[in-house]
Chain A
Amino acid sequence: MSVKSQSIQSKKQSGQDERLKKISPLRVLLNRPELGALGGAILVFIFFGIVAGDTGMFSAYGTLNFLDVSANLGIIAIAAAMLMIGGEFDLSIGSMIGFAGICIAIPAIYWGWPLWMAIVFAFAMAVLIGYFNGIMVVKSGLPSFIVTLAMLFILRGATLAITRLITGRTQVPGLRVLIEDDPIAWIFATDTFQWLFTWLGSMKLIELRTDGTPLATGIPPSVIWFIALTLFATWILMKTRYGNWIFASGGDKVGATNVGVPVGRVKISLFIGTAVASTIFACIQVLDAGSADTMRGTLKELEAIAAAVVGGCLLTGGYGSAIGAALGAIIFGTVSMGIFYTDVDTDWFKVFLGAMMLIAVVFNNYIRKKVTETK
């Protein structure tokens, strides 16, 4: 008896709680929201490395291709993830992409505005629409699912109606010639690090066209935006007061309000965030294609939410990470492009997307229980 109590005594003195098991580094890692997505991404790369390793998927050109697709999805997935951490959804992301596209194309082509002004106009509209979504959700207390579902229809309908009214068509082409000399458009339309690719080409390290120029000419703007937004969002979530307010607003609205967090303002700003991210997506795609299409962005809201969920965001809010959402987008982008390099019929992509999401949700639920019910 006395021996036992002595040994407890000595443990206490050494500053160790005798009830505490040593936490392994693996355990710490398990508590991070992006763990599942990281594992998933590694698995996806191993899979395609084996199945499609010698097909050119991982050549410079192929890599940039699937990175471009991932990055485009990632831009909206990160904003969707931040909103989900804040406890809300935005189903109007896809429609906002289409709407932002015509907000650029119609003024630039039909009204003779300079391209930069049309772009600024599109972002101004995005802020307004995001603000409206936010204020509706915050003031009415309705679920954001309903409010933004309504906005999904309104925006898509308005995009189609306005475009047909003004142009008589559903597509607005002819933007490409306006990009040159524009003071803003290059932000969304320039391939960077071209010198590096030219050099790699001259060293015969990457594939060349028949005329000797490299097949991959530079890093697409989407990838740069994607990386920048991932870093920015992670900084906000982990390192700023506003980030703490996002977690608090999503984790417990009433509690956060009681200790002085401006929950309403936080949520409104996050809705503006998703609308602005949709507009960045629209700018990149519209300027790349040289045309705006009224159906652009259809169903993108669901892909963005799926990527955020695979990345570890809880549907109930208060938990998740931007890096996780970025990894989720990389998984989807890689599979959607990689599937072309395999013998698998591309029709199976959606099956994969759904299955991946289910696995992620089950896994995340398990993690949440681990985090909250340790004692």
Chain B
Amino acid sequence: MSEYLVQFNNISKFFGKVIALKDVTMKLKRGEIMCLLGDNGAGKSTLIKTLAGVHKPDEGEIIFEDKKIIFDSPRDALDIGIGTVYQDLALVSLMSVTRNFFMGREPQKGLPLFKTFDIEKANKIAAERMGQIGIDVRDPSQAVGTMSGGERQCLAISRAIYFGAKVLILDEPTSALGVHQASMVLKYIVKAASQGLAVILITHNVHHAYPVGNSFTVLNRGRSMGTFQKKDISREKLLSMMAGGEELNKLEVELKEMDRIATS
């Protein structure tokens, strides 16, 4: 058995003439958090949709637990244990915590034809799971709309783990959150990884990625600029590798110039 839980080898994806992804390779061990960094338009979304079974790669292969895998639908990816939490979280804010947690996979009880949604069991599991993250759900029948952004993110992640994700793909989990909420989510991600999950964390925020990541893959214009272990790269180096790095340097120079003109 290889040391890697999942390998994405030389993945390419084309949309007509557009090369969205070219030869992207990523390998993840159990318990590893890999941060996928890149500016807008770098191909992050296309890459996760390919990993999650929404798109089929045009080139390259996905190897999961030493077996080559071809996904026909997101359901296939879900079934073997690749869970994806998209930015929209797939939560319905008017529905309760429990009803969201089990949406599409409700536990049932009773005789065939008269099967009912086992809401007591569902309530118990949902409250228990949220409690493990340190979110005290006062009442699992409260609407998700009443939860904070960080709590919702944790609910979506916790749901993916409960339903058997071994590889967790998180799309910008901290982008809409304040500092406190973001650190709550990041803490939970580290905890999930320590239990043996492989996590792919997509973000354009190096400051969120660097403290939690074990390795970093930088995407730029559809190509991988390489995967780096944490010990081999500094935060500043990472930042400048992202397309934004250069831009920010330029911006700084321009601002100084404007200051100079204003004061003179």
Contact for B105 among A17, A258, A259, A319, CB less than 8 A: A259
Across the two chains, which residue of chain B brings its CB closest to A241?
B106
Query: Which of A243, A252, A259, A318 has most B Cβ within 10 Å?
Result: A259
A23 CA / B104 CA spacing, docked (Å): 30
Interface residues of B in 162-196 (CB under 8 A from A): none
Contact of A371 with B94 at beta-carbon distance under 8 Å, contacts A241-B115, A255-B88 already known: yes
Contact of A319 with B94 at beta-carbon distance under 8 Å, contacts A241-B108, A371-B143 already known: yes
Contact for A374 among B106, B108, B117, B145, CB less than 8 A: B145
Is B59's CB within 8 Å of the partner chain A?
no
A240 CA / B119 CA spacing, docked (Å): 9
Query: By the criterion CB–CB under 8 Å, are B103 and A375 in contact?
Result: no
Cβ of A347: which chain B residues have Cβ within 8 Å of it?
none
Q: Mark A3-43, 1 if CB is under 8 A from B, else 0.
A: 00000000000000100100100000001000000000000
Cβ of B145: which chain A residues have Cβ within 8 Å of it?
371-374
Least distance between A134 CB and chain B CB atoms (Å): 20
Is B248's CB within 8 Å of the partner chain A?
no
A252 CA / B116 CA spacing, docked (Å): 23
Contact of A239 with B117 at beta-carbon distance under 8 Å, contacts A17-B138, A245-B104 already known: yes
Count chain A residues whose beta carbon lies closer than 8 angstroms to a beta carbon of B.
30
A317 CA / B119 CA spacing, docked (Å): 22
The DSSP consensus for interface residues of chain B is: loop
A143 CA / B147 CA spacing, docked (Å): 31
Across the two chains, which residue of chain B brings its CB closest to A260?
B104
Is A244's CB within 8 Å of the partner chain B?
yes
Q: Mark A346-375, 1 if CB is under 8 A from B, else 0.
A: 000000000000000000000010011111
Least distance between B88 CB and chain A CB atoms (Å): 6
Across the two chains, which residue of chain B brings its CB closest to A374?
B146
Query: By the criterion CB–CB under 8 Å, are A247 and B93 in contact?
Result: no
Query: By the criterion CB–CB under 8 Å, are B103 and A256 in contact?
Result: yes
Cβ of B94: which chain A residues have Cβ within 8 Å of it?
247, 251, 314, 318-319, 368, 371-372
Contact of A258 with B143 at beta-carbon distance under 8 Å, contacts A240-B117, A244-B106 already known: no
Cβ of A245: which chain B residues have Cβ within 8 Å of it?
104
Interface residues of A in 233-257 (CB under 8 A from B): 239-241, 243-245, 247-248, 251-252, 254-256
Query: By the criterion CB–CB under 8 Å, are B104 and A248 in contact?
Result: yes
Query: By the criterion CB–CB under 8 Å, are B104 and A261 in contact?
Result: yes
Query: By the criterion CB–CB under 8 Å, are A259 and B95 in contact?
Result: no
Cβ of A23: which chain B residues have Cβ within 8 Å of it?
139
A291 CA / B143 CA spacing, docked (Å): 49
Least distance between B156 CB and chain A CB atoms (Å): 9
Least distance between B154 CB and chain A CB atoms (Å): 14
Cβ of A239: which chain B residues have Cβ within 8 Å of it?
116-117, 119
A236 CA / B93 CA spacing, docked (Å): 21
Contact for B104 among A31, A243, A256, CB less than 8 A: A256
Q: Mark A117-155, 1 if CB is under 8 A from B, else 0.
A: 000000000000000000000000000000000000000
Cβ of A260: which chain B residues have Cβ within 8 Å of it?
75, 78, 104-105
A186 CA / B145 CA spacing, docked (Å): 48
Contact of A256 with B116 at beta-carbon distance under 8 Å, contacts A17-B136, A375-B146 already known: no
Cβ of B19: which chain A residues have Cβ within 8 Å of it?
none
Is B91's CB within 8 Å of the partner chain A?
yes
Contact of A375 with B147 at beta-carbon distance under 8 Å, contacts A17-B136, A245-B104, A260-B78 already known: yes
Contact for A243 among B117, B147, B148, CB less than 8 A: B117
Query: By the criterion CB–CB under 8 Å, are B95 and A247 in contact?
Result: yes
Query: By the criterion CB–CB under 8 Å, are B116 and A240 in contact?
Result: yes
Contact for A240 among B86, B115, B146, CB less than 8 A: B115
Query: By the criterion CB–CB under 8 Å, are B117 and A248 in contact?
Result: no
Least distance between B129 CB and chain A CB atoms (Å): 15
A318 CA / B117 CA spacing, docked (Å): 18
A314 CA / B94 CA spacing, docked (Å): 11
Contact of A254 with B88 at beta-carbon distance under 8 Å, contacts A318-B95, A375-B146 already known: yes
Least distance between A151 CB and chain B CB atoms (Å): 28
Name the 6 nearest CB pairs between A and B, nearest first: A372-B145, A251-B92, A255-B90, A260-B104, A374-B146, A241-B106
A residues apposed to B, CB below 8 Å: 17, 20, 23, 31, 239-241, 243-245, 247-248, 251-252, 254-256, 258-261, 314, 318-319, 368, 371-375
A–B complex contacts, Cβ < 8 Å, 15 sampled: A239-B116, A241-B117, A244-B95, A248-B92, A251-B92, A251-B95, A252-B92, A255-B90, A258-B74, A258-B90, A261-B103, A318-B95, A319-B94, A372-B94, A372-B145
